[in-house]
Structure 1
Amino acid sequence: MIGCRVLGHRYRFRAVDAELRWYCERGCGAGASKRYPTAELAARYATALDREDRAALGERAPLLGLLPLRLWRSLGRKRQGSRSPTARS
């Protein structure tokens, strides 16, 4: 799938007995599995790995995502500074 080639796989994890299984949520067919000694251990890994970090995205926004906003604000400050000579004190 082109989404996986461009953005990377979006893996989902689940435990089935003592086996940890993962697959791509986008349906490209990528995935695998791994056996653990106990079902509790497999469930623990599945819970830890199967989470979305979108909730904290605003708190730790990516630099490239903010770059256009930073440039826009910088240009706005420069325009305001060139219009009024008293702005540069």
Structure 2
Amino acid sequence: MTPLSCRIFGHDYGFAADGRTMRWSCVRGCGAGGSKEYDSADQARCYARAFDRKDTDDLGRRAPLLGLFPLRMARAMRKRVEGRRRQA
């Protein structure tokens, strides 16, 4: 049976490369997942690394212009203050 969180929010996949094969599975342990074979192990690693990124990993760096504009400004101000402290 699928966990309630997967039914409401969808699966939370984690990706990993095993040689030329990229595998993914739901980190909530519901059993959903799969695999895909690539031409080389480098390609499989590259895709696994790219797909394994979460949108929240760099939330302040690439925030949408209007919706998270205050977060982007706070991050810029924090960097500016830290830069001044290093110079002093």
- Is 1:19 aligned to 2:18, yes or no? no
Percent of aligned pairs with the same residue? 48
Mapping for residues 1-80 of structure 1, pairs under 5 Å: 1-57=3-59, 59-60=63-64
Tell me by how many angstroms 1:56 deviates. 4.2
Note the residue ranges of structure 1 that are not aligned, 5 or more in a row: 64-89
Q: 1:41 to 1:25 in 2, by over 3 A?
A: same
Q: Which runs of 4+ in 1 moved over 2 A?
A: 55-60
Work out the number of aligned pairs and report it.
62
Give the number of the structure whose alpha-carbon radius of gyration is greater: 1
Equivalent AA in structure 1 for residue 15 of structure 2: F
Note the residue ranges of structure 2 that are not aligned, 5 or more in a row: 68-88
Tell me by how many angstroms 1:21 deviates. 0.1
Equivalent AA in structure 2 for residue 37 of structure 1: D
TM-score of the superposed pair, with normalisation by structure 1: 0.63
Instruction: Give the Cα separation in 2 of the matches to 1:50 and 1:29.
Output: 17
Deviations 1:26-46 (A, max 9, x none): 100000001111101100100
Instruction: Give the Cα separation in 2 of the matches to 1:55 and 1:37.
Output: 29
Instruction: Give the Cα separation in 1 of the matches to 2:59 and 2:39.
Output: 35
TM-score of the superposed pair, with normalisation by structure 2: 0.63
